[in-house]
Copies of this chain bind each other. A is one copy, B any other.
Amino acid sequence: MTTTASGSVETETAAQRARRERILTATLALAARGGYDAVQMREVAERSEVALGTLYRYFPSKIHLLVSAMKAETDRLAARLSRRQVPGDTRAERVSFVLERSTRSLQRDPLLTEAMIRALMAADASVAGEVSAVRQGMSDLIVAAIRGDDAPTDHDEELAAILQDVWFARQIAWLGGRIGAADVWRDIHTAITLVLAD
């Protein structure tokens, strides 16, 4: 969606693509090391060998930067998950599989997750597009798991939305120190079994 000032869409030179790549790499590295607070714009700029003003040209705020990084990460997760058919005979089993893997994947890198989720929460209207993209990717995963080989139902999307809301809210509770890492998955699993009583 990168639109230049002249209105033309998606015309990036190789150097620009490389800069964007370096910026995102530096962002992920800093986030993995020290979480949200460690992703400092000056530091990101320095590491990616880009002027501060240039960083802001590519990503108009720290939130945009981190949400974009999250999009890249969730795309990788989705690619990994969608490589093969989700196992499980019931909706609950399949959704549990997907969300358990997602949760575990995030918790493997707690600081990185903290940085990304915090950005996702802090996003205002100017980042709505990017945030919706992240959410849509997640929703697609869940809907696919709900359906499995079954026929689609009217409620699939709505159920996925609810589960994602719970998933999201539990991550926040975890970041806020109100529940432990293990509780996250337990609570989500509880929600799955209550919402998807087969």
Is A158 touching B194 in the complex (CB atoms < 8 A)? Answer: yes
Query: What is the CA–CA distance of A133 and B125 in the complex, to the nearest angstrom?
Result: 29
Query: What is the CA–CA distance of A169 and B171 in the complex, to the nearest angstrom?
Result: 11
- Which residue of B is nearest A196, CB measured? B194
A-B contact pairs, 25 of them (CB 8 A): A121-B121, A121-B122, A123-B176, A124-B177, A125-B176, A125-B177, A127-B176, A128-B176, A128-B177, A128-B178, A131-B178, A155-B194, A158-B194, A159-B194, A162-B162, A162-B191, A165-B168, A165-B169, A165-B170, A165-B191, A166-B166, A166-B169, A168-B169, A194-B195, A195-B195
A38 on interface, CB distance cutoff 8 Å: no
- Which residue of B is nearest A161, CB measured? B187
- Which residue of B is nearest A176, CB measured? B123
Which residues of A come within 8 Å of B, CB atoms? Answer: 118, 121-128, 131-132, 135, 155, 158-159, 161-162, 164-166, 168-170, 172, 175-178, 187, 190-191, 194-195
Interface majority SS (helix, strand, loop, mixed), chain A: helix
- Which residue of B is nearest A195, CB measured? B195
